[in-house]
Amino acid sequence: MNPATPQPPPYVPGHDLLAGRTAVITAAAGAGIGGATARRFLQEGARIVLGDAHVRRVEESTAALAGEFGADRVAGLPCDVTDEEQVTALFDLAEERHGRLDILVNNAGLGGTADLVEMTDDQWGRVLDVTLNGTFRCTRAALRRMKATGEGGVIVNNASVLGWRAQRGQAHYAAAKAGVMALTRCAALEAAAYGVRINAVAPSLALHPHLVKVTTPELLAELTGKEAYGRHAEPWEVANVIVFLAGDYASYMTGETVSVSSQHA
C-alpha cells in the first residue's frame, strides 16, 4: 500500500502582528509567495500596496483583496522592477494612500532553466535585472524614504536555497539569489544606523501555478523528493516566515537569511 500523500498543516489564523503598518509587496499579484504574503499581511492587520508587472493580475488582485479586506487597506499599481520610474511610482502611491512606509517585501524574481554553455547574454541579463537589480532598486527607494522619516522600518527579501546550493541549469538564477543574500547583509549594516532591519527568506520548493508552468513534472518530482516532509511548501508557509521577519518578534535580527526548507541536509 502506498503511503498517504503528505498534507500541509492547517492555515494559521492572524494575530494582528502587523496592525497599523503599511507594506509594499512586489510581484504580489497571483497565487505565489507574493500573493500569499499580501493576504497574510492583511490578516495580520497591515495596509498593503501591491506591485506587479502583470497589469491585469495586479488590477484583479487589488480589487479582490479590497473587496475582502476593505478598499482603505489595499492599493495596487503595475510595477516592473527593472524600470526606475515605475518603482518610484509604487512607493509614492504607498505614501499618498497611507502617509507612510513601514515594510517592504522584495518578492519580484525571474527564473528559467538553461545550461551555461547555451545561455544567452539576454537570458543571463534578464534574470539578474529582475531578481537582483530589481531588489536593489526597490531597497534603495524604500531606504531613502525610511531614512528621511527617521521612524525605522523593515525590509524582507525573497532569496532561495539556490543561493547556497547548486542545481544544473540554474546558474543565472542561483547567482542572482546569492547576490540578494549578499545585498541583504551589506544593506543591513548601512540601514541599522537609522533603525531599519533587512533580512531575507530562502525557500526551497513552494509550489504555485506559475512554477508548474515553467518546470517539468520530472524536475518537480525530483525536488519534492529532497524535502524531508515529502511535500512542497505551501506559499503561505513561506509568507508566515516573512510575517515573522517583518514583525516585532524579529527585532534583533538583521542581515540574516532564514532558510524556509525541509530539504535533507
Asked if 233 contacts 260 with a C-beta cutoff of 8 angstroms, the reply is: yes
The answer to whether residue 111 is domain-embedded is yes
The domain tally of the chain equals 1
SS3 25: strand
CATH classification at residue 72: 3.40.50.720
User: Which pLDDT value is given to residue 226?
Assistant: 73
Q: pLDDT tens digits for 55-83?
A: 999 999 999 999 999 999 999 999 999 99
Q: pLDDT tens digits for 88-143?
A: 999 999 999 999 999 999 999 999 999 999 999 999 999 999 999 999 999 999 99
* Distance between CA atoms of residues 61 and 69, nearest Å: 12
* Distance between CA atoms of residues 72 and 169, nearest Å: 44
* Active-site position among 173, 229, 249, 252: 173
The answer to whether residue 214 is domain-embedded is yes
- pTM (2 decimals)? 0.92
The answer to whether residue 95 is domain-embedded is yes
The answer to whether residue 232 is domain-embedded is yes
Containing structural domain, residue 195:
22-259
What would the grid cell of residue 65 be? 483583496
CA pseudo-torsion sign 23, 29, 37, 156: negative
Q: pLDDT tens digits for 2-47?
A: 456 788 889 999 999 999 999 999 999 988 999 999 999 999 999 9
The answer to whether residue 122 is domain-embedded is yes
249 in catalytic set: no
* Distance between CA atoms of residues 134 and 117, nearest Å: 26
The answer to whether residue 1 is domain-embedded is no
SS3 44: coil
Q: pLDDT tens digits for 206-244?
A: 865 555 445 567 666 666 667 767 787 899 999 999 999
The answer to whether residue 14 is domain-embedded is no
pLDDT reading at 49 higher than 50: yes
The answer to whether residue 3 is domain-embedded is no
